[in-house]
Each structure stands twice: as structure tokens, then as C-alpha cells.
């Protein structure tokens, strides 16, 4: 039977319950797969979920924000026993960067969270949707139960 060898968790730090993270860890253990994690700093908008405030900016990303994101990524990676070499902190469009990192590192399963949005939010698109439709490998969208 074909198994997954490299699983990529896309983390936006907005999760409360940790269901997406747990699923990634669980599947990596089950398949004895390498587990990597990526966080993308959106270069148009820093969301309140990740950093506590909403700050639009154009070009230069303040070093403190980068450092804060790195710290959060390292903390999450630590919990999952993911070595530094498998932690990716990128800047740009979350959808495009997640797909790029997956392709460049021979990832065969990407794990994202899904809020199960409807209506306008769905029309506007979401990261989960974008990854699902454009990734060349399998994508698992783990439903996040919104509080």
C-alpha cells in the first residue's frame, strides 16, 4: 500500500483546539512520515488571529513581526518535535507559498484547516480552498469547529 512520506502542516496559529495540528502529528506517526510545518506571513495583511492586531502594510515587514512569527512557529514545531530544517517561515500569498514549499520539498500530503465557510466568504476564496484546488499532491482539510 502506498503511504505518505512527507506531510506538510500549514499553520496560521489561529486554532484554539489544535485539531489540525493533532491530525498532522497523528498521520505522521501512523505513516512514519517526515513532518514539516509552514507559516506564511501575508504581505498584504497581518491578521488579528495570528498577531493580535490587524496591520496593513505594503513592503517592509517589521523585524519584530517576523521574530514573533518565528517564535510561534518554533513553539509549535517544538510541540510536534519538528526540527528547524523542516520549519518554513515564508512571506507572500499563503496559498502560493504553501504550494511552493510543498512542491520544492516533495511533500505528498498537505494538511490545512477548514472553517467550512459559506456564501460570500466562500466566493472570495480561502487558503484551504486555494491549496485544495491548486496543489499537485493530496490535501487534507481538517474541519475547524468555530466557537
- Contacts to ligand AMP by CB under 6 A: 10-12, 20, 38-40, 42, 94, 98, 112-113, 115, 126-128
Least separation in angstroms between CB 85 and ligand AMP: 18
Of residues 9 and 33, the one with the C-beta less far from ligand AMP: 9
CB of 136 to ligand AMP, least distance (A): 17
Residues 110 and 135 sit within 8 Å (Cβ to Cβ): yes
Cβ distance to ligand AMP smaller for residue 1 or 56: 56
In the DSSP assignment, the letter for residue 17 is S
Closest residue to ligand AMP, based on beta-carbon distance: 113
Nearer to ligand AMP, 31 or 129 (CB): 129
Amino acid at each position: 500500500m502506498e503511504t505518505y512520506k512527507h506531510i506538510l502542516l500549514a499553520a496560521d496559529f489561529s486554532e484554539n483546539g489544535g485539531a489540525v495540528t493533532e491530525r498532522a502529528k497523528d498521520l505522521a506517526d501512523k505513516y512514519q512520515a517526515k513532518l514539516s510545518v509552514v507559516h506564511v506571513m501575508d504581505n498584504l495583511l497581518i491578521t488579528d488571529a495570528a498577531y493580535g492586531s490587524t496591520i496593513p502594510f505594503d513592503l517592509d515587514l517589521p523585524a519584530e513581526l517576523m521574530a514573533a512569527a518565528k517564535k510561534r512557529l518554533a513553539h509549535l514545531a517544538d510541540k510536534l518535535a519538528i526540527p528547524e530544517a523542516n520549519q518554513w517561515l515564508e512571506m507572500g500569498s499563503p496559498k502560493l507559498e504553501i504550494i511552493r514549499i510543498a512542491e520544492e520539498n516533495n511533500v505528498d500530503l498537505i494538511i490545512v484547516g477548514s472553517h467550512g465557510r459559506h456564501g460570500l466568504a466562500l466566493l472570495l476564496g480561502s487558503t484551504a480552498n486555494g491549496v485544495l484546488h491548486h496543489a499537485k499532491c493530496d490535501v487534507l482539510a481538517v474541519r475547524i469547529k468555530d466557537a
